[in-house]
A = this chain, B = another copy of it.
Amino acid sequence: MSPSTSVVDKDATTWRIGEVAKLTGVTTRTLRYWEQMRLLTPKAHRGAGERVYSDAEIHRAKRIKELQELLGFSLAEVGVVLETEDVLDRLRDAYRADPKPAHRLQVIQRAIEANDRLLARLDDKLARIQDFRDERGAKAQRLHQVAAELRAGSATRRKERP
């Protein structure tokens, strides 16, 4: 599981597909599938097309998994979210690429909007799940109440006059 290194590696740790699979908890098949879906592109190919991943892609893979499992997004939706994430991550690059303040501001504006859309979606989901949870919580309260009454009843009933 030791990262692949070469003598001169610019200190950038890289990984083979199997290593990425173990580190992220998905199969190699899944990684290739995600690549085919344009969600996760390996940093490079070496030799006979062997995929090479960097830490960034490990991160990204974990994020994809989380969006899928935790948020219940389809890969298509994951793609949309990741695009907005890309905007944020690549912001620095685009930012440096064109130092004109007007352009910079526009880039940031767009990133903000994309991010806010995602935030709104998350907040909506949170609120709805919270409602669900509260409903269940209330039911739990009632159940505990009834249970308590039952216990008290069976204890006090003997004292009641017949």
- A interface residues with partner B (beta carbon < 8 Å): 66, 69-72, 88, 101, 104-105, 108-109, 111-112, 115-116, 118-119, 122-123, 125-126, 128-130, 132-133, 136-137, 139-140, 143-144, 146-147, 150-151, 153-154
Contacts and interface: CB of A to CB of B under 8 A. Distances in A.
Chain A interface helix/strand/loop/mixed: helix
Contact of A151 (B105, B123, B125): B105
A133 B124 CA distance: 11
Contacts of A72: 69, 71-72
A83 B100 CA distance: 61
Contact of A132 (B70, B108, B128, B153): B70
A133 B143 contact: no
B139 A108 contact: no
A147 B70 contact: no
A104 B149 CA distance: 11
